Amino acid sequence: MKSDLIVLGGGPAGGNAALAAAAAGLSVVLFDEQPAAGGQVWRAPWAGKADPHDSPERREGDALRDALASSPVDLRFGRRVWSVGRAFRVDALGPDGNEWVEAPRLIAATGAHERVVPFPGWTLPGVIGLAAATVLLKSHAARPAGPVVVAGCGPLLAAVAAGILKAGGDVAAVVDLASARDWLVAVPHLASRPSLLAQGLGWTLKIAGRGVPVLFRHAVRRVEGAERAERVVIAPVDETGAFTGGSERSFEIGSLVVGHGLVPGGEVPRLFRAKTRFDRLRGGHVPELDADGRTSIAGLYAAGDGVGIKGAAAAVLNGTLAGLAAARDAGRLSESEWRKRAEPARTAAAGLAPFSDAIAGLMALRAGQVASVPAETVVCRCEDVTRGEIEAAAVAGATEVNQLKHFTRCGMGPCQGRMCGETAAEILARSLGVEREAVGQWTARPPLRPVPLADLLGRFDYSDIPIPKPAPL
């Protein structure tokens, strides 16, 4: 099948890109892995969830889902995109097996995933991501086993702790890498989005009102337990996230929820070898884009947190701009019509910059966090590769992350390096005494996500296999 534009990802960026392009007259096919639009931030509750709670995210997600449903966009949810080829051919695994679409233009809006900097015990069952907890709360009407310690950094800490309390759970402590002062410095910038500031204060008051201890400038030292997380030990850290040697505290837990910010996915621009640069504030390697989301590859656009962590509000605007750019490049929008539609989004995006910088700053990786990972701690969860093994690979001659992968299998497992990549790269760079940029990034290759071969092949009998006629003798 052919169309004018393919959009990968149905979150705030991809959803709005598809709407803007379709409104300008392009035929658009939108792929997403989840059963409904919204991405992770505006994730839809699954159908059987009890009393879906009202929240700003829920309302914005519902508005996007309604707008897409009443638009001419060809919506392909529940599809795992595993290959993106030249001329743009997208292959995806759906309920009826493999399907493909071709289009001269493609917008990648594939979002971000969570960064968790390793500590002893982080692989134990009962330790889950901070973003994972938001999925449980928002979409599954579920909360982790209590008592829960919520640890890490950024605005999700308070949101998750308040969400667990609201759902009737028990939060033993909130453990924040940042100091109270870091938050106060950030607040003037956060104040540029008053509605979100109010939401943040609401969360904070909810935690304070329940007497939940909030331990600023602390981090998880280790999790103890045999077959699941039973106890978390925390200790004070300095402004870089390194442990100060101050006294430890321990909490008996049912679950630990932990997250250290987000890493932009960016697989599709990497797959096409689009120009990228390392941006610590934005979470990792990001493609170089013009003001409308054009990458260095003709016809390939990118938007949303997958091209640098900026948050949902910025993703809406950047997605809209990418959709408009695709329509203009396809000759469907005149210069004046494009300007009329794009100018408001450009202006609004510029106004958001202080807010998104403040949020990104609270979530950015701190140098001392990686320095604190013990040598025997697993960094690559899939292949059980420890920090010590990464350092040994550096001594043995690995000079960039793809060599590290060949030497140790770090990043070679089914998550394809998404969970360990940024930590492994930082450890390698530190071992070699070079800047993070110098050790590069994983090479992206299809399949973009693991797909079972049996699902791709579908069901067939021996008689279905075409047998060519025998060659004449």
Partner 1 sequence: MIERDGAFHRRAAPGARMVELTVDGRAVTAPEGEPLATALAAAGILLLRRSPRAGAPRGAFCFMGVCQECAIFVDGALRQACMTPVAAGMQVELRGVP
Under the binding rule (CB under 8 A), the answer on residue 383 touching partner 1 is yes
Name which of 25, 107, 36 is nearest 67 in CA terms.
36
User: Which residue's CB is nearer to partner 1, number 122 or number 183?
Assistant: 122
Least distance from partner 1 to the Cβ atom of residue 83, Å: 17
**Segment interacting with partner 1 (CB under 8 A) among 90-98, 128-136, 280-288, 328-336:** 128-136
Nearer Cβ to partner 1, position 227 or 464?
A: 227
Q: What are phi and psi of 209, to 5 degrees?
A: -60, -25
Query: Cβ of residue 3: shortest distance to partner 1, in angstroms?
Result: 25
When the beta carbons of 126 and 311 are compared against partner 1, the nearer one is: 126
Instruction: In angstroms, give the least distance from the CB of 227 to partner 1.
Output: 5
* Window contacting partner 1 (CB under 8 A); options: 122-130, 213-221, 267-275, 355-363: 122-130
Structural contact between residues 374 and 118, judged by C-beta atoms closer than 8 angstroms: no
> Which residues have C-beta within 8 Å of that of residue 153, sequence separation ≥ 6?
176, 177, 178, 259, 260, 261, 362, 363
Q: Which of 208, 188, 144, 186 is nearest to 360 (CA)?
A: 186
Give the interface segment with partner 1, choosing from 57-65, 126-134, 200-208, 436-444 (CB under 8 A).
Answer: 126-134
Sites for partner 1 among residues 329-358 (CB under 8 A): none
Which residue in the block uniquely carries the two structure tokens 């997380």? 229
Q: Which run of H or E residues covers position 16?
A: helix 12-23
Q: Closest distance between partner 1 and the C-beta of residue 217, in Å? A: 25
Q: Say if CB 115 and CB 422 are below 8 A apart.
A: yes
Assess contact for 229 and 256: CB atoms under 8 A.
yes
Whether the bond into 144 is cis, omega within 30 of 0: no
Q: Tell me how far apart the alpha carbons of residues 471 and 188 are, in angstroms, rounded to a whole number.
A: 78
Binding region for partner 1 (CB under 8 A) out of 20-28, 272-280, 282-290, 451-459: 451-459
> Residues binding partner 1: what is the number (CB under 8 A)?
56
Cβ partners under 8 Å of residue 38, min gap 6: 10, 11, 15, 44, 61, 64, 65
Binding mask 137-156 for partner 1 (x = CB under 8 A): ---xxxxxxxx---------
Q: Binding of partner 1 at residue 412 (CB under 8 A)?
A: no
Residue 340: count of CB within 10 angstroms of its CB? 12
Contact string (CB under 8 A) for partner 1, positions 7-46, x = contact? --------------------------x------x-----x
Show the tokens assigned to 352: 């958001």
Using CB under 8 A, which of 67, 124, 197, 371 touches partner 1? 124
Under rule CB under 8 A, residue 379 binds partner 1: no
Among 81, 76, 57, smallest CA distance to 10 is for 76
Q: Stretches 88-96, 166-174, 267-275, 429-437: which one binds partner 1 (CB under 8 A)?
A: 166-174
Measured CA to CA, the distance from residue 449 to residue 265 in angstroms comes to 12
Q: Does 437 bind partner 1 (CB under 8 A)?
A: no
410 binds partner 1 (CB under 8 A): no
235-254: contacts with partner 1 (CB under 8 A)? 252-254
Rule CB under 8 A: which of 50-89 touch partner 1?
A: 50-51
Structure tokens at 337: 């019509």
Segment contacting partner 1 by CB under 8 A, of 119-127, 314-322, 340-348, 392-400: 119-127
Q: Which amino acid is at 54?
A: D
Smallest distance from the beta carbon of 147 to partner 1, in angstroms?
A: 6
Half-sphere exposure of 306 (CA within 13 A, CB side): 29
Residue where the block lists tokens 């106890």? 231
Structure-token pair, residue 452: 């079972």
| Site residues for partner 1 per CB under 8 A | 33, 40, 46-51, 113-114, 123-129, 131-133, 135-136, 140-147, 167-169, 172, 227-228, 230, 252-255, 378, 381-384, 413-415, 418-419, 449-450, 452, 454-455
